[in-house]
Amino acid sequence: MTDFRALCAELTDALDTWLMAHHYGGVPPQGGADAELVLRARAALAQAEPPNLKEQALLQVDVLSADLAMHGMGCDLSQIRRALEQLPDD
């Protein structure tokens, strides 16, 4: 499986290096669309990776279970949780 964050980081570094070598005389670009693109890519890569679908589903099962218990309608969702835990992480 491809690590898309690592690939995006590698592409951002390559674009930045190429821009410096071919368009900016060896110094990092300070303005324009190219510089903005590199800055946006680096900012996006700095953000925490969102949870995958499996993690989101497990969280929702936990929230639903807690909500039902809080309203006195406890329900055993353990089979659903176990089934979700068996899914692959990607």
Q: How much is the pLDDT for 29? A: 60
**Total-model pTM:** 0.49
26: which 2 tokens? 């060896």
CB 37 within 8 A of CB 15: yes
Distances (CA, A) of 10 to 22, 32, 41, 45: 18, 21, 11, 11
Averaged over successive runs of 10 residues, the pLDDT of the chain (90 residues) comes to 77 82 66 77 85 90 87 84 88
Q: Is 22 exposed, middle or buried (0-12, 13-18, 19+ CB in 10 A)?
A: exposed
Supply the pLDDT for residue 28.
61
Query: What one-character DSSP code corresponds to residue 51?
Result: P
Return the domain boundaries, the chain: 4-46, 53-85
